[in-house]
């Protein structure tokens, strides 16, 4: 196989990196090394290096994960995802209460309309605002 046809090292989706490896790469980028050159040297995607750097800038070294997937999946490990999930749960609770109120009032309105319809049939067919001859009063 020629050198042009060789697969780049960063195409391995199973490769995992320690927090120390990630921090070393981030430190080198913060010191001014090119992320493209560093990606080629380390055999990782440039986007991955930039993601690591962004995470360190957002929350320090602790914001970088260790090897492997966290319990609950990748997205569950991020603080902003946990707070967003809590907000979604809170809003879903509010929506549920609002839906229960809507159901209650729709049912009540239907009962009132049925009662009015039943009462209207029992009343006289002559409306109260018209005299006996059928012409409206003024």
| Per-residue pLDDT tens over the stretch 28-82 | 999 999 999 999 999 999 999 999 999 888 888 888 876 655 555 555 556 677 7
pLDDT at 6: 41
Same-domain pairing of 22 and 45:
yes
The verdict on residue 134 lying in a domain is no
Same-domain pairing of 40 and 86:
no
Query: Among 15, 3, 9, which Cα is nearest to 42's?
Result: 9
CA distance 121 to 126: 11
Report, as an integer, the average pLDDT of 105-132.
Answer: 79
Same-domain pairing of 59 and 106:
no
- What is the model's pTM? 0.42
Range of the domain at 79: 73-123
CA distance 80 to 129: 65
Greater pLDDT, 137 or 4: 137
Backbone region of residue 50 per phi and psi (left: phi > 0; alpha: psi in -120 to 50; beta: other values): alpha
Contact, 52 vs 26, CB < 8 A?
yes
Same-domain pairing of 63 and 18:
yes
The verdict on residue 20 lying in a domain is yes
pLDDT at 16: 80
Same-domain pairing of 22 and 49:
yes
Same-domain pairing of 48 and 23:
yes
pLDDT at 18: 86
Same-domain pairing of 46 and 21:
yes
pLDDT at 77: 56
Same-domain pairing of 53 and 28:
yes
Per the prediction, the chain carries an average pLDDT of 78
């Amino acid at each position: 196989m020629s050198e042009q046809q060789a697969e780049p090292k960063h195409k391995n989706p199973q490769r995992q990196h320690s927090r120390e490896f990630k921090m070393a790469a981030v430190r080198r980028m913060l010191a001014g090394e090119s992320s493209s050159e560093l990606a080629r040297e380390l055999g990782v995607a440039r986007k991955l290096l930039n993601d690591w750097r962004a995470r360190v800038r957002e929350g320090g070294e602790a914001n970088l994960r260790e090897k492997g997937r966290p319990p609950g999946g990748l997205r569950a490990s991020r603080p902003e995802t946990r707070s967003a999930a809590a907000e979604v749960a809170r809003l879903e609770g509010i929506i549920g209460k609002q839906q229960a109120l809507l159901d209650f009032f729709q049912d009540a309105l239907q009962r009132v309309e049925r009662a009015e319809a039943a009462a209207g049939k029992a009343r006289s067919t002559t409306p109260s605002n018209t005299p006996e001859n059928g012409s409206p009063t003024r």
